[in-house]
Chain A
Amino acid sequence: MSEPHKETPEELDRENARPVADPAPTGGPQAEPTPSPVRDEGVLLEVDHVTLRFGGVVALNDVSFSLRKGEIFGLIGPNGAGKTTCFNAMTGVYRPTEGQIRFQGESIVGKKKHQITRGGIARTFQNVRLFPEMTALENVMVGADAHHKTSVISALFRLPRFWREEKSGRARSLELLRFVGIAHRAGDVSRNLSYGEQRRLEIARALATNPTLLCLDEPAAGFNPAEKEDLLQLIRKIRDTGVTVLLIEHDMRLVMGVTDRIVVLEFGKKIAEGTPAEVRDNPSVIAAYLGVPTDAA
């Protein structure tokens, strides 16, 4: 029943007690890299020559890039470019046919989804996938449970650990609901939340797993401009707590406005990488994706 936890309980408590809005640009204690063959100390996640085939279809073709700690990283491309495939490979849903994906220097290929989550990668879903019949608070507590150690026995007999973790998990979950701005809906069943609230709840649930890297799959889908602006604020706020953010997005304005660096995919191949400005001026990106260059500005 022992888990590959990196934190001791005290550290975990410190994590829990840490105000979420506390700026810690280089990452909290959980970002400490384990001894590993990382070349660049700043690299958090490395996609290393990844190819992914489904039958005869090549969904990803020799893609390489890496995420640095503390940045907001954008992954963009036209429809069918392989963004979501790449995302799924990075979060353990698909296994690459060739190549490696390393997180904090350790390969995550072949690991189970829950192991990857406990290791520090959290994600949201393109089409919101909450637990509809649970309250908002319970949804977040499922995320918080990822690092809890309450066993079936201690839950059955309500041993001290149960009370301790239930209390701290609850406090932390409430705090996260406040952080994403929906604390007032904590007791409501999540399917009764509005669409925007559900999106925020999903982010809170992902944050509850104490991630080092948060992956957002088209979080602004279906949002109006005002809501998008709020989301940008939230993403920046998350980054300011020390969490690295990977953003998959359609909306160029949003991506350009918030990301530090961008990788562009087309037909499963990487066609550009750089800062928003560099990518915007890259001719092949313009040709492939933006079409009219002025559109993106």
Chain B
Amino acid sequence: MSEKASFRSNGGVRGWLGRQPVWVRWLVILVAAVAAYMLPYIGDVPVIGPQIVTEGIDWPSALFNMSYYVLLALGLNVVVGYAGLLDLGYVGFFAVGAYGTALLTSPDSILYEDTGWKWLMAVPAALILTMIAGVILGWPTLRLRGDYLAIVTLGFAEIIRIVATSTDVLRGDRGFASIPHPPGSWGGEPIFGVTDAIPYFWLGLTVIILVILGVRNLDRSRVGRSWLAIREDEEAAEVMGVRTFKYKLWAFAIGAFIGGLGGVLFAGEQSFINSQTFVLQFSILVLAGVVMGGSGNMAGAILGGVLISYIPDRLRGLSVGDTDLYEYRFALFGAVIIIIMVLRPQGLIPSRRRAMELKDREKEVAPQ
């Protein structure tokens, strides 16, 4: 079983890529990045293009949706995939990022008199706020065992939602309107307008690329090694001198930061948020995406993030007979999740390092 898994990780596209010289690798990555930036125009590709683009929602907006889902998946992947911490309330950080932005910029905010900042000014503040939220949540809870962490994080997201719904400061259903868009203009027209979502997608994609580079740097360093060691055998890691709590907290804070980025972008594009935006099902969806794609590896997380956003959007406006498929989007989605996980328990793109779960299983079968 394990032999087979390790064999597989050497084959396939990644195995091939790993054996190529550095310049080939960079070329492939560059081509992929350029192709990603061209995605808004994929509808113009004959034959395949029209099949891919969404019908019930304009394609650039669907792409933007994918971009913040991918961001969330990447962030959650740090927490769940790398450090092995089961976070069921990840949407909480997304919400903190979005609300942070709204509070600092929207005319509806009670802080508007004092702040009323531009979007760009609010970004760093909102991100710091999410990281603080990550640390505040992590500090007491990361000492708890895995399953308990899951329920406590679930509670955190629920508390955020309750606070958003029932306090005057966060305005509940009424929400925050007129959150400013990102800055910049092109030929006298603002780049980030109301009608065209393409610039937002490009912005999201750029942020995604930066996040990928950053997470990759962390992964291939002492930090990544510590996370992996914690995931595989926490006690052994500690005995080897790894400060487990510190690194778990960092994983939480970094995950929160990335989730906050998603929230900040979301607020900047939508320009309106309210308490209905951040339902709990949302973070469970993102978790499903990460694991479905293949947790512990960024390609898998990205694929998962794309799927959880694309599938429902693609179903929008489609109907079979009299039934509107969009109504059934989550039901279908649930079925798809089961099928994928039953067929590929390690996710669509298995991580090279995904043995901890396997090993855990073995431990349970044969304790001591």
Contact = CB atoms under 8 A, between A and B. Distances in A.
Query: Do any CB atoms of chain A lie under 8 A from CB atoms of chain B in the complex?
Result: yes
A113 B236 CA distance: 10
A209 interface: yes
B225 A162 contact: no
Contacts of B244: 114
A141 B225 contact: yes
Given A145-B222, A152-B223, A131 B239 contact: no
Contacts of B235: 113, 129
B298 interface: no
A143 B240 contact: yes
A158 interface: yes
B359 interface: yes
A209 to B, nearest CB: 5
Interface stretch (A24-32, A117-125, A234-242, A255-263): A117-125
Contacts of B356: 133
B166 interface: no
Interface in B200-242: 214, 217-218, 221-223, 225-226, 228-229, 232-233, 235-242
A233 interface: no
B141 to A, nearest CB: 19
B236 A143 contact: no
A167 B242 CA distance: 19
B44 to A, nearest CB: 38
B277 interface: no
A125 B368 CA distance: 13
Contacts of A131: 228-229, 232-233, 236-237
Contact of B6 (A125, A134, A192, A205): A192
A32 B344 CA distance: 55
Q: Identify whether the interface residues of B are mostly helix, strand, loop, or mixed.
A: helix
- Which of A91, A131, A142, A146 neighbours the largest number of chain B CB atoms within 10 Å of its CB? A131
Contact of B359 (A117, A132, A141, A150): A132
A191 B226 contact: no
B211 to A, nearest CB: 11
A112 B239 CA distance: 9
B250 interface: yes
A138 interface: yes
A146 B241 contact: yes
B242 A114 contact: yes
B368 to A, nearest CB: 8
A148 interface: yes
Given A132-B355, A155-B217, A146 B242 contact: yes
Interface string B231-263: 011011111111110000010001000000000
Contacts of A148: 222
Nearest to B241: A146
Interface string A192-216: 1000000000000110010000000
Q: How many residues of A sit at the interface, in one of the four size bands?
A: 35 or more
Contacts of A106: none
B239 A134 contact: no
A156 B236 contact: no
A152 B250 contact: yes
Contacts of B195: none
B354 interface: yes
A54 interface: no
A17 to B, nearest CB: 20
B118 interface: no
B214 to A, nearest CB: 6
Given A150-B221, A155-B217, A166-B221, A134 B229 contact: yes
Nearest to B213: A156
Contact of A189 (B6, B221, B250, B254): B6
B242 A142 contact: yes
A134 B227 CA distance: 11
B2 interface: yes
A156 B240 contact: no
B316 interface: no
Contacts of A141: 222, 225
Contacts of B243: 114
B217 A117 contact: no
Interface of A: 91, 112-114, 117-118, 123, 125, 129-134, 138, 141-143, 145-148, 150, 152, 155-158, 162, 165-166, 189, 191-192, 205-206, 209
14 contacts: A114-B242, A117-B238, A117-B239, A129-B235, A131-B229, A131-B236, A131-B237, A132-B232, A134-B229, A142-B229, A142-B237, A145-B242, A155-B217, A209-B241
Closest 10 CB pairs of A and B: A146-B241, A155-B221, A117-B241, A133-B355, A133-B353, A129-B236, A131-B232, A113-B238, A145-B222, A155-B223
Given A91-B239, A117-B240, A142-B229, 6 more contacts: A131-B237, A132-B355, A133-B353, A143-B241, A152-B254, A155-B218
